[in-house]
Amino acid sequence: MIVDDDQNMRIALFETLSRNGYEASVAESGAMALEMVRRNPPDLVISDIGMPEMDGISLLDKIRQGWPQMPVMLITGHASIESAVAAMKGGACDYLVKPFPIDIIEDSIKRSLNGCTALVPGLTPESGGKSRSKERPLIGKDPKLTLLMERAVTVAKSKATVLILGDSGTGKEVFARYIHHHSDRVSGPFVALNCAALPETLLESELFGHEKGAFTGAVTSKKGKFELAHKGTLLLDEIGEIPLHLQAKLLQVLQEEEVDRLGGKAPVKVDVHVLATTNRSLEAAVAEGEFREDLYYRLNVIPLRLPALRERPGDILLLASHFIAKYSRQYNRVEKGMSAEAVERFRHYDWPGNVREMENLVERAVLLSNGEKLEVCDFWVDEVVPMAAAVGESSRSASRQVSMPPDVTTLKEMERQMILQALQKTDNNRTRAAKILGVSVRTLRNKLHEYRQHGIVD
């Protein structure tokens, strides 16, 4: 993560990191950085010192309080003995003075990711290395999951394209990393791209790369994700959201094993094991003309469908214990057990958001709990009856703006009626209905696909 209030410096560092194969995020203030760290802890923070409201030293202190093992590098255009001493005392990995040569920042990043020992007493490569925050093991003993794990190990040694299916939050990216870890490419890069997270104008460049001057703003040449994943694994997350006009080019890359950069003069050979994930029905997308049939068959060589958490009841408490231990360590809290009431609620809850929802609930409970045990109210702070969470992404917003349907007997029926009610209120405008429900348009569309497949709606 790059933290700097200077836009030009943010862009320069982002380009440097991207060219070296790192996945970078940017924040323009200390407050924004802390919020992003809380949601998705990075492997390394590179922060400017001289920023308004919260300077880099203050940000370093706050990161040390919440994430004591996270490596932090500080950079400054106004070096002083006082700030250098403060950086050292605060536990910074490095202290660089602007302007610095590119090779200096590159070397510093490598040292910090391989073990932040330069300025931080007691921080070892094992605790501060690159694998720290990406370490997300597969937790579970359910027969459905263990069978998939066995199949994953079998296909990991091949180059056959793997399509990982499953509802949102079931751990598809974690499963993809599991496949990479058990492949003969484990020493190579693991590169992930969320196809739904980028606008169409940027997605083609991110996938295939571009040459300098290929379009307005292309001030340097840039490798795409395929080239960055050479000799390793490329995960195409949410593959169902890739635009039609790019699907033909993606199919050609998969078949020919070479990419054409935007503005390039000759194709570049790539050796990549491609994994893809989706929570959509690609068969339905093909039938509706939203996804190429030939690309679907090319991706669907090895389909692996992850079970929803409610289909793995024996793993629920096992996962809960894992996340409690994880976040107790991360936030330096005493590891607590769950109360009998909380255990019962976990066992009988429907888990519409799957493993991701549980992880978020546990993280919240670990932070908020003041008692000897983790209680129901620690997990579901604002909900008297959490089972009323009808739509997976933002049920509280939905319950405020859409009235509770009467005479419903199941959670799924409640969900269906709330969706239909929102559509009726908006004259079937999906965008407005999704906003009322507090979910994405994609989630709403997926639900409607599901209902049509079962003959519930027209």
Task: Say if residue 352 is preceded by a cis peptide, omega within 30 of 0.
Answer: no
Whole-angstrom distance, CA of residue 103 vs CA of residue 309: 46
Homologous superfamily of the 2-130 domain (CATH)? Response regulator (3.40.50.2300)
Whole-angstrom distance, CA of residue 59 vs CA of residue 2: 12
Q: What pLDDT does residue 106 have?
A: 80
Q: Where in the chain is the domain with CATH 3.40.50.300?
A: 143-305
Cβ pair 232, 273 in contact under 8 A: yes
Listed in sequence order, the residues at least 6 apart from 441 whose beta carbon sits closer than 8 Å to its beta carbon are: 430, 431, 434
Cβ pair 224, 208 in contact under 8 A: yes
Q: Where in the chain is the domain with CATH 3.40.50.2300?
A: 2-130
Q: Could you state, in chain order, the average pLDDT of each consecutive group of 10 residues for the chain (458 residues)?
A: 88 81 86 87 90 90 81 83 73 79 79 57 33 61 91 91 93 93 91 83 83 73 89 94 91 92 86 94 93 94 95 94 90 89 93 92 88 90 44 38 47 72 78 76 79 67
Q: What pLDDT does residue 390 have?
A: 37
- Here the tokens at position 185 are 């490419």
> Tokens 């970078």 sit at which residue?
24
Question: What fold does the segment set 143-305 form as a domain?
Answer: Rossmann fold (3.40.50)
CA distance readout (Å), 421 to 356, 383, 397, 400, 404: 27, 22, 15, 13, 10
CATH architecture of 309-380: Orthogonal Bundle (1.10)
> Which amino acid is it at 70?
M
Q: What pLDDT does residue 81 have?
A: 64
Q: What pLDDT does residue 398 have?
A: 38
The DSSP bridge pattern shows strands 26-27 and 2-3 to be parallel
Query: Which of 33, 36, 41, 35 lies closest to 326, judged by CA?
Result: 41
Q: Where in the chain is the domain with CATH 1.10.10.60?
A: 395-453
Whole-angstrom distance, CA of residue 102 vs CA of residue 106: 6
Q: What pLDDT does residue 234 have?
A: 95
* CATH (residue range 395-453): 1.10.10.60
Q: What pLDDT does residue 216 have?
A: 67
Q: What pLDDT does residue 402 have?
A: 46
Q: What pLDDT does residue 128 have?
A: 33
Cβ pair 140, 320 in contact under 8 A: no
> Tokens 């008692």 sit at which residue?
371
